[in-house]
Amino acid sequence: MFGYIRPFKPQLKFCEYDVYQGVYCGLCKELGQVYGQSLRFTLSYDFAFLGILGLSLEPGHVELLKERCVAHPWKKTPCISCKGGGAPAISYAASSAVLSLWHKLSDDKNDRVKGVKGRLLNSGLVIASGFLGGTYKKAAAGNPELAEVMEGAMENQRRLEKSGEPSIDAASEPTALITAKLAEGLSSDSKTKRILYRMGQMLGRYIYITDALDDICKDEESGSYNPLLLIEGVRKPEGGVDRTLARETALSFFRFTMGELASAYVLLPVKRYKSILDNVIYQGLEHTFALVYQGKELPDERSL
């Protein structure tokens, strides 16, 4: 579920790349200071996007400083320093990352896995989520409404997967609700919240369909739920998956979602970083989906 919201690097200016990196850096430091050093290595760039989205709406002064980092101590890299207003976006994105990671681990734990490797991975996840328990409680205490929405949505997700829900709209709704709530929390203005909510909904739908297409072969083998597998003709009688049919369905779903995302985005009162947001929304998402559509590997969620 992580790693699908990325910029399109060839069209990202160097200064924009620095901002992206810098926000990730700022988030990483925040995670370390508030939630503990071990979580820093779990951070994906999706939350850097959330941070940038939040900062784009804030009027406060934001500057990039060169600072050292534990991941690469031999050189200084740009790191966001927020004075007068930008910091809430970073701390919010950090707690969102913790809450999301917790739910992802719980979700992965519940997925059916086969074989020794699968069972070892599962027990690893059980240990990791046990370890995270205290951190989750801290993040949830700081964002109780968000935590409650996420719990409810994950429960709905489990229920509809168990019942074999065929509608992709319905299947993507819990994810869409989570991302909608995450995005909405970036602003306190009522109109902006509505716009962010709608954008978040569409981003959640995008993540869901891209993940479903990415995992279609793996899910078919393991017998896990995937709404694309429930489309007539996708499962071949002799076994295996008709990927062409699945991806055409995913493509039209993706296009409708992108259209509505753009329609909401043009209403957002962006104060800075518009070119970065444009890059992700108009090019990055399509590029990532295209890679999945073509069955190619995606870069790691912890690299830009």
- The answer to whether 198 contacts other proteins (rule: CB under 8 A) is yes
125 vs 202, beta carbon nearer other proteins: 202
Angle between helix 190-214 and helix 168-184 axes, rounded to 10 deg: 140
- The answer to whether 10 contacts other proteins (rule: CB under 8 A) is yes
Q: Do the beta carbons of residue 124 and residue 131 sit within 8 Å?
A: no
278 vs 301, beta carbon nearer other proteins: 278
The pairing of strands 61-67 and 77-83 is antiparallel
- The answer to whether 258 contacts other proteins (rule: CB under 8 A) is yes
Residue 51 CB, nearest approach to other proteins (Å): 22
Site for other proteins in 259-288 (CB under 8 A): 259-267, 278-279, 281-284, 286-287
Q: Do the beta carbons of residue 186 and residue 214 sit within 8 Å?
A: no
33 vs 252, beta carbon nearer other proteins: 252
- The answer to whether 5 contacts other proteins (rule: CB under 8 A) is no
Residue 28 CB, nearest approach to other proteins (Å): 27
65 vs 267, beta carbon nearer other proteins: 267
Residue 198: count of CB within 10 angstroms of its CB: 20
What does the angle CA 138 – CA 142 – CA 148 come to, to the nearest 5 degrees? 90
- The answer to whether 294 contacts other proteins (rule: CB under 8 A) is yes
Q: Do the beta carbons of residue 272 and residue 56 sit within 8 Å?
A: yes
The correct pick among 191, 236, 298, 300 for binding other proteins (CB under 8 A) is 191
Residue 119 CB, nearest approach to other proteins (Å): 37
- The answer to whether 170 contacts other proteins (rule: CB under 8 A) is yes
Residue 223 CB, nearest approach to other proteins (Å): 25
**Binding region for other proteins (CB under 8 A) out of 128-136, 156-164, 196-204, 213-221:** 196-204
The 217-256 site mask, x for binding other proteins (CB under 8 A), equals: ----------------------------------xxx-xx
The correct pick among 105, 160, 176, 203 for binding other proteins (CB under 8 A) is 176
- The answer to whether 152 contacts other proteins (rule: CB under 8 A) is no
- The answer to whether 290 contacts other proteins (rule: CB under 8 A) is yes
Residue 88 CB, nearest approach to other proteins (Å): 23
Q: In the beta sheet, which residues pair with residue 66?
A: 78
17 vs 282, beta carbon nearer other proteins: 282
45 vs 253, beta carbon nearer other proteins: 253
User: Rule CB under 8 A: which residues touch other proteins?
Assistant: 8, 10-11, 167-170, 173, 176, 191, 194-195, 198, 201-202, 205, 251-253, 255-267, 278-279, 281-284, 286-287, 289-291, 293-294
